[in-house]
Amino acid sequence: MIVVAACLLFALVPALLIEFLSGDRSAILRGELWRLWSGHLVHFSLRHALIDSATLLVIGTIAEVEFGSRSTALSLLVGAPLISIGTLLASPALFDYRGASCIAVALATAIGLSWWRSRPTSRPVLAILVLCLVAKIGFDAIGMSVTLSALPDGVRVAWQAHLLSGVLGGLGYLALTRAQRAGRRDLPSPQAALNSSV
- Residue-wise pLDDT tens digits, 38-74: 999 999 989 999 999 999 999 999 999 999 999 999 9
**Residues comprising the chain, all counted:** 198
Encoded amino acid at 40, one letter: H
User: Residue 135 contacts by C-beta under 8 Å, 6 or more apart in sequence?
Assistant: none
Reply yes or no on whether the pLDDT at 197 is more than 60.
no
* Percent of the chain topping pLDDT 70: 87
Q: What is the pLDDT of residues 128-179, one digit of tens each?
A: 999 999 998 888 888 777 666 666 666 777 788 899 999 999 999 998 888 8
Angle at 79 between CA 165 and CA 102, to 5 degrees: 35
- So where are the chain's domains? 2-184
Residue 52 near residue 99 (C-beta atoms within 8 A): yes
Nearest-angstrom CA–CA distance, 142 and 156: 11
Question: CATH classification of 2-184 is 3.90.180.10, yes or no?
Answer: no
Q: How confident is the model at residue 91 (pLDDT cuts 50, 70, 90)?
A: confident
Spatial contact of 176 and 75, defined as CB atoms under 8 Å apart? yes
